Chains A and B, each alone.
Chain A
Amino acid sequence: MLHGIGMVSMELYITELSKYFITLFIACYTLECFLVFRFQEEERRKAGYFRQNIWMFLVHFSCFLVICFETGKIEYLLFYVLQQILLFSTVMLFRMIYPKGNLLIINNMCMLLSIGFVILTRLSYERAIKQFFIVTASIIIGMAVPFFIRNLKFLKSLTWVYAGVGIAALGVVLILGSVTYGSKISYSVAGITFQPSEFVKILFVFFVASAFSESWDFLRVAVTAVLAGAHVLILVASKDLGSALIFFVVYVLMAFIATGRWIYLFLGISGGAGAAVIAYRLFSHVQVRVQAWRDPFSCIDDAGFQITQSLFGISSGGWFGLGLFRGNPTSIPLVEADFVFSAVAEELGILFSMCLILICISSFIMCMNIALKLQDRFYRLIAFGLGVTYIFQVFLTVGGGTKFIPMTGVTLPFISYGGSSVLTTLVMFFIIEGLYIIRRDEGDRRAKNRKRKNRKKRDRRAGAESQDGEDEEEA
C-alpha cells in the first residue's frame, strides 16, 4: 500500500473516478469501431484508426494506473511498460510490413489483448506474465502469416491433408490426452500443454473451404459431411462439447454459404437438434449442464456453483463495475479461462463488457465484409469460416457465463488465459489480414484492368466515333 494521507485520498479519487473514465474511453473506442464502416476505402478510415490507438492507450493506461494504486506494487508498472511496448510495436510493425493490411482487425486484436492483460494481471500475476510471453511469441509467428497466405498458392489443394491431420490430432488427444475437468482436451510435450482442438479449428476451416472451392455438388457435401462428422464425434467422445458444437456450426454454415442452398442449413439444424436431444438423453454430464442452466440455484452446491458465482459477479458490478481489485471474481472457478467475461463485467462494469462484445462483433462484421468482397472462392470461404468460428466461440463463452445458453466451457478469444487459445486466435486474425491483402490485390488488379479497358475504349472511340462502350466492371 502507498502511504501518507495525501496518497490515501488521491488513491480513492483515482480508483473511483477512473471507473467512469475507463468506461468512457472504451465506449469511444467502440464507437470508432463502427464509424470506420462509413467509408469504403481504407485510406479514409486512417484518422479513425489513429484515434482508436489513442483510446486503446488510455484504457490500458488507466486500468494499470488503478492496478498500481490498488496493489502498490511497482513491478506492475514494469509489466505495463513491457505490454505497451509489445502492443505499440505490433501496430507499428504491422503498418510497416503490410501497408495494405486492415487496421481495424489489428487494432481490435491489440485492444482485446490489452484487456486480457489487465484482467489476467488482476486475477493472477504469474499467469499474466506467462500469457504475455506466449502472446509475444504468437505475434512474432503471426506476423509472417499474411505473407504465407498471400504467396502459398498450393494451400488450396491440400483438402484431404487438412482433414487427415485434423482428425489424427484430435484422435491422439482422445487416446493419450490428459483429463482436465472431466474432458480430455490436451496433452503435454516437453512440459508445454497443447490443446489441439484449438489449432484444428483453423485446419478444419481450410479443409471445408478447399473442399468446396472446386465443387459443391451433393457428393462433395456428403463426403465433407462425413469427415466433418468425424471431427465432431471425436470431440464429443473427448467430452469437449463446446469445441464439438463450434465445428458443427462452422461446417453447417460453410456448407450453406458454399452451396447457397437452404436445404443444407435446414438439414444441419434439424440434425443438430436431433443430436442434441440424443446427447441429452444419453449423457448425464449433458443433463447436468442443462439443469445448471435452467435453474442454477437449485444445484448451487455442485453443478450450478460456477454459473451462480458468475452471475453474482456480473450483477454486483453494476454499470461501471466495482473497480479493479474491488470485487471478488476469484470466487468463480476457472475464472481466467472460461469465465473471464464475468470477471471483466464485475470489476470493469457491464457497460465495459458490452463494449467488449461490440468490439468482437465489429471484428466479425469486418471479417464478413472481407469474405463478401473476395472474388476467389477458396479465400472467401476461409474468411467466412474463420469469422463464424470466432464469433460463435465468443457467443458460447459469453452466453454460457451469463446464463443465456447452457455453459460449454470454451475460452473468450484474446482475453482468456491459455496459450493454445491465444495463439490460434492470433493466427486466425493474421490469416484474415492475409485475405484482406489478397482482396486489395484483387481490387488493384481489377482497377488496372479497368484502366487498360478504358484506355482501349478511348482509343477505339478516337477511332470510330459512334460506338457504344462496354459495361464497366464494379469495383
Chain B
Amino acid sequence: MTVTWFFVGLFFAMMGYTCHYAVTHRQTLMNNSYNTRQEILVAQNSRGTIYAAGGQILAETAVDAEGEEVRVYPYANMFSHAVGYASNGKYGIEAQANYYLINSNTRLSEKVANDVAGKKYPGDSVITTLDVDLQQIAYDSLGIYSGAVIVSEPSTGRILAMVSKPDFDPNEIDAIWDGLIADKESSVLLNRVTQGLYPPGSTFKIVTALEYIRENMDTYSQFRYQCNGRFTHGEERINCYHGTSHGSEDFNKAFAKSCNSAFASIGLSLDREKFGDTLNDLLFNRELKVDFSYNQSKLLIDTDTSDADVMQAAIGQGTTQMTPLQLNMITCAIANGGMLMKPYLLEQVETSEKAVVRQFSPSSYRRLMSEEEAQIMTGLMEEVVKSGTGTKLSGLSYTAAGKTGSAEYNKVKTDSHAWFTGFAPVEEPQVCVTIIIEGAGSGGDYAVPIAKRILDAYFAQ
C-alpha cells in the first residue's frame, strides 16, 4: 500500500508540475526562436494590429500588389523604438506582444468565413497605453538631437510616450537593416529610454538627497553650507557647474541650485553601507520586473568605495550608469507617495471583432520610499522649479516639480547631456516626464523647455 500511495503521490506532483509549467511558460516558449510552432500560427493567422490608446493604428498588416503580406507603420519614425519591428528579429511592442498578435481568438463563424474566402484568420489586436499627441510633441521637440523622452502616469504606471533618437523608419526595416547593423557609432536600433545607459549627472542628487534625509531625518533642515564654487578633499576636486559660487545655502537651496560642492560634501558624510542599501531599494543593479527589454542601471557603493568615488557618485558622475526609464520610475514613485506602479505599455488584447481577450490593469511594483520621504522630495523638487535650475516651468497654469541635470560624459571636452525629470501638478501628480538630450548643454536650458511643451500639451487636452 505504501508503494501504491508513493507512486500516486509522485504522479500527482508530476501532473501538477506539468500543467503549471505549460500554462505559465506558454508565452515565453512560443516566442522562443527555436519554436517552429510560431510558424504554424503565422501561416494560419495574419498578424494583428497595434493601436494607440486613442484608437489610432500604430502597426497593421496589409497585402501588397503581389499579394504578399507587409507590415505597415502609419507613423513611420515616430514610434520606431516603442512599437518596434516584426522582421529581422522582433523589437519593441512587436516583440513584447508577439504572442497575442500571432494568435487568433476570433469567432468560429468568422474563421469559417475566412476559410471559405481562402483568407487567413485575423490575429488579435493589441491596444497600447501610448498617446499619439504626446508622442508627436516629444518627437518633434527633440528635433535633430539624439536622446530620449518618456512620459508616464505615476498613479498607474501607464507609459504615454516613449521616444528615442536617432530613429529609423520601420516600414523600410528590411532595406535599411544592413546599414543599421553596420553603424556601430550611433546605435540607432537601441531604445535609449529603456536601454540607454547614461551618467545621470545632477538628476542623481535626488538619490543622494533621499539618502541624506534618511540618515538625518531630524537635522537635515538645519543643514548649512558655504559654497565657493568648488570642493576639495585630498586629491579630488569637485567644481560647481561653470564654477559658479552659490554662497551660503541650506538643504533646499543646495538642491534647487544643484550645488555640486555641497552634494560632494554630503556624499562624503553618508554611511556607505546604508547608501548601498538605498540604491538597492531604488532598483539599481538588479533585474526589473517589466515586460519589455531594458538594461540594468548600475552603481555599487559599499564600505570599500573610496572617498573620491563617493564624491563623484553623489553628484551623478563617475561610473554611475542609469537609464531614463529608471530615473522616470524613481520620479514616479516620488509623485505617487513613494509607491512605484509597474510601468506598462499594453492595455488590452482584443479580437478583430473587439471582444476583449485579455485586460492588463495597473499593479504596484513596490514601495521605493516612505510617504514622508516622498513628500520631502516633492518639496525639494518643487523648489527647483520655483527658484532653482528649473524656473522655466514656473508661473504656469499648473504647478510642476523636478530636477535638472547636466551630465559630463567626456573628460576632455566640457560638453554635457541635458537632463530633466519631473512631474505635475505638484498637488495631485498626473503625469511624469523624463528627458535626456545628448550633448546639448545644461538641463535647465535645453531639457526643461521640452518638458514644458509636453506638459502644456498634456494639460491642454
Main secondary structure of the interface of A (DSSP, over half): helix
Complex contact A361–B40 (CB within 8 A): no
Q: Name, among A256, A300, A316, the residue most crowded by chain B CB atoms within 10 Å (CB to CB).
A: A316
Q: How far, in angstroms, from A60 to B108 measured CA to CA in the complex? A: 24
- What are the residues of chain A within 8 A of B13 when measuring CB–CB? 404
- What are the residues of chain A within 8 A of B182 when measuring CB–CB? none
B10 interfacial contact with A, CB 8 Å = yes
Q: Give the residue of B7, B22, B34 whose beta carbon is less than 8 angstroms from that of A314.
A: B22
- What are the residues of chain B within 8 A of A305 when measuring CB–CB? 34
B21 interfacial contact with A, CB 8 Å = yes
Complex contact B34–A316 (CB within 8 A): no
Chain B residue, CB-CB nearest to A256? B3
- What are the residues of chain B within 8 A of A185 when measuring CB–CB? none
B37 interfacial contact with A, CB 8 Å = yes
Q: How far, in angstroms, from A409 to B13 measured CA to CA in the complex? A: 21
Complex contact B4–A309 (CB within 8 A): no
Q: Give the residue of B3, B17, B108, B115 whose beta carbon is less than 8 angstroms from that of A368.
A: B3
B30 interfacial contact with A, CB 8 Å = yes
Main secondary structure of the interface of B (DSSP, over half): helix
- Residues of A393-437 contacting chain B, CB below 8 A: 395, 398-399, 402-404
A313 interfacial contact with B, CB 8 Å = yes
Complex contact B36–A331 (CB within 8 A): yes
Q: How far, in angstroms, from A289 to B407 measured CA to CA in the complex? A: 51
Q: How far, in angstroms, from A361 to B13 measured CA to CA in the complex? A: 13
Taken residue by residue from 264 to 290, chain A's Cβ proximity to chain B (1 for < 8 Å, 0 otherwise) reads as 000000000000000000000000000
Complex contact B34–A308 (CB within 8 A): yes
B112 interfacial contact with A, CB 8 Å = yes
Query: How far in angstroms is the closest Cβ of chain B from A300?
Result: 5
Chain A residue, CB-CB nearest to B11? A361
A311 interfacial contact with B, CB 8 Å = yes
Complex contact B25–A328 (CB within 8 A): no
- What are the residues of chain B within 8 A of A312 when measuring CB–CB? 29-30, 32, 34-37
B26 interfacial contact with A, CB 8 Å = yes
Taken residue by residue from 57 to 68, chain B's Cβ proximity to chain A (1 for < 8 Å, 0 otherwise) reads as 000000000000
- What are the residues of chain A within 8 A of B10 when measuring CB–CB? 395
Chain B residue, CB-CB nearest to A312? B35
- What are the residues of chain A within 8 A of B303 when measuring CB–CB? none
Complex contact A9–B22 (CB within 8 A): no
Q: Give the residue of B11, B108, B116 whose beta carbon is less than 8 angstroms from that of A395.
A: B11
Complex contact A315–B116 (CB within 8 A): no
Complex contact A388–B40 (CB within 8 A): no
Complex contact A354–B19 (CB within 8 A): yes
- What are the residues of chain B within 8 A of A388 when measuring CB–CB? 3, 7
A257 interfacial contact with B, CB 8 Å = yes
Taken residue by residue from 1 to 41, chain B's Cβ proximity to chain A (1 for < 8 Å, 0 otherwise) reads as 10110011011011101110111011001101011110110
Q: Give the residue of A9, A395, A398, A403 whose beta carbon is less than 8 angstroms from that of B112.
A: A9
A295 interfacial contact with B, CB 8 Å = no
Q: Give the residue of B17, B37, B115 whose beta carbon is less than 8 angstroms from that of A402.
A: B17
- What are the residues of chain A within 8 A of B39 when measuring CB–CB? 328
Q: How far, in angstroms, from A91 to B115 measured CA to CA in the complex? A: 41
Complex contact B25–A311 (CB within 8 A): yes
- What are the residues of chain B within 8 A of A11 when measuring CB–CB? 115
Complex contact A326–B40 (CB within 8 A): yes
Please judge, given known A-B contacts A354-B15, A395-B7, whether A315 and B108 are in contact too, CB under 8 Å.
Answer: no
B298 interfacial contact with A, CB 8 Å = no
- What are the residues of chain A within 8 A of B32 when measuring CB–CB? 297, 300, 308, 312
B111 interfacial contact with A, CB 8 Å = yes
- Residues of B128-172 contacting chain A, CB below 8 A: none
Complex contact B21–A13 (CB within 8 A): no
- What are the residues of chain A within 8 A of B7 when measuring CB–CB? 361, 364, 388, 391-392, 395
Please judge, given known A-B contacts A12-B108, A327-B40, whether A300 and B34 are in contact too, CB under 8 Å.
Answer: yes
Q: Give the residue of A256, A313, A315, A384 whose beta carbon is less than 8 angstroms from that of B21.
A: A315
Q: How far, in angstroms, from A71 to B15 measured CA to CA in the complex? A: 32
Complex contact B115–A9 (CB within 8 A): yes
Q: How far, in angstroms, from A357 to B116 measured CA to CA in the complex? A: 39
Q: Give the residue of A8, A350, A404 whose beta carbon is less than 8 angstroms from that of B14.
A: A404
A234 interfacial contact with B, CB 8 Å = no
Complex contact B40–A368 (CB within 8 A): no
Chain B residue, CB-CB nearest to A326? B40
- What are the residues of chain B within 8 A of A350 when measuring CB–CB? 18-19, 22-23
A237 interfacial contact with B, CB 8 Å = no
Please judge, given known A-B contacts A12-B115, A314-B18, whether A328 and B11 are in contact too, CB under 8 Å.
Answer: no
Q: How far, in angstroms, from A337 to B295 measured CA to CA in the complex? A: 43
Please judge, given known A-B contacts A9-B112, A300-B34, A327-B40, whether A399 and B14 are in contact too, CB under 8 Å.
Answer: yes
Q: How far, in angstroms, from A399 to B71 measured CA to CA in the complex? A: 42
Complex contact A402–B14 (CB within 8 A): yes
Complex contact A311–B3 (CB within 8 A): no
Complex contact A365–B4 (CB within 8 A): yes
Chain B residue, CB-CB nearest to A405? B14
A464 interfacial contact with B, CB 8 Å = no
A229 interfacial contact with B, CB 8 Å = no
- What are the residues of chain A within 8 A of B11 when measuring CB–CB? 357, 361, 391, 395
Q: Give the residue of A12, A308, A364 whose beta carbon is less than 8 angstroms from that of B111.
A: A12
Chain B residue, CB-CB nearest to A398? B14
Complex contact A16–B108 (CB within 8 A): yes
Query: How far in angstroms is the closest Cβ of chain B from A400?
Result: 11
Query: How far in angstroms is the closest Cβ of chain A from B373?
Result: 40
- What are the residues of chain A within 8 A of B4 when measuring CB–CB? 364-365, 368
17 extra interchain contacts, Cβ-Cβ under 8 A, other than A300-B34, A318-B26, A398-B14? A9-B116, A11-B115, A12-B115, A305-B34, A308-B32, A312-B35, A313-B37, A315-B30, A318-B23, A327-B40, A357-B14, A361-B8, A364-B4, A384-B3, A388-B3, A404-B13, A404-B17
* Chain A residues engaging chain B, CB cutoff 8 angstroms: 5, 8-9, 11-13, 16, 253, 256-257, 297, 300, 305, 308-309, 311-318, 322, 326-328, 331, 345, 350, 354, 357, 361, 364-365, 368, 372, 384, 388, 391-392, 395, 398-399, 402-404
Could you show 9 A-B contacts with beta carbons less than 8 Å apart? A5-B116, A12-B115, A253-B3, A312-B35, A315-B23, A315-B26, A365-B4, A388-B3, A404-B17
Which 10 interchain pairs have the tightest Cβ spacing? A315-B22, A312-B35, A402-B18, A9-B112, A368-B4, A316-B37, A315-B29, A315-B26, A404-B14, A331-B36
